[in-house]
Amino acid sequence: MYDSTDTKVITRITPKQTKTVVLTFDDGPSKVLPGILAILKQEKVPAVFFWQTRLLYKQRPWKSVLEDGHVIGTHTISHPNLQKLSLEQQYRQLARSVAKIETITGQKVTFFRPPFGQYNQDTIRAAEKLNLQTVMWRVASIDWELKCNTEQIIDNVVDHLEDGAIILLHELQQTVEALPSLIQKIRDKGYGFSLLK
């Protein structure tokens, strides 16, 4: 579980009439993206993707992401620890990544997630200059550490569900394998799925 006392950072969405959570995927667009998209489409689940733009090429399936109703946000150009950069360097990471996503997709970028979840007040200032909402998470799957344990990925999420929670996942093979069961178990707990607004 994670929370932030910083009012300029969101970790959850405003509760709706029904219980909902937000699935977010970091570190793409990767080679497993088509598998994630196929599962989300079959299950009719929307998601938010935070992409490193060094990995974004026109031939990546970004069109499918948008056509299926998902959202693309920035995860910087190259995934640095922003706390180690100056304000100007942080601004450049954000501005250039946003420009690349918008140039390729034609869609405005409004959401940003700091790599490693590390940020400082310069990060917030840089994001605000670009009209970006800084998004962290409430529930972490720890999928990046659980290559051979998809059940633990699922448990890490399902055991900590709460209304409006933003869930941290990554574009990894083990996450693809866990995703169908994860979606089903979230639904079994009475939750639906929403997007960031």
The residues carrying an active-site annotation are 26, 170
Torsion angle of C-alpha atoms 174, 113, 31, 33, degrees rounded to 10: 80
Query: Contact 22/64 with Cβ under 8 angstroms?
Result: no
Rounded Cα distance between 101 and 107, Å, is: 8
First to last CA, the chain: 22
Nearest to 13 by CA among 127, 112, 135, 187: 135
Alpha helix positions (H), the chain:
33-43, 62-67, 87-105, 121-129, 150-158, 173-188
For residues 186 and 141, the answer to whether their CB atoms sit within 8 Å is no
Q: How far apart are CA 180 and CA 189, in angstroms?
A: 15
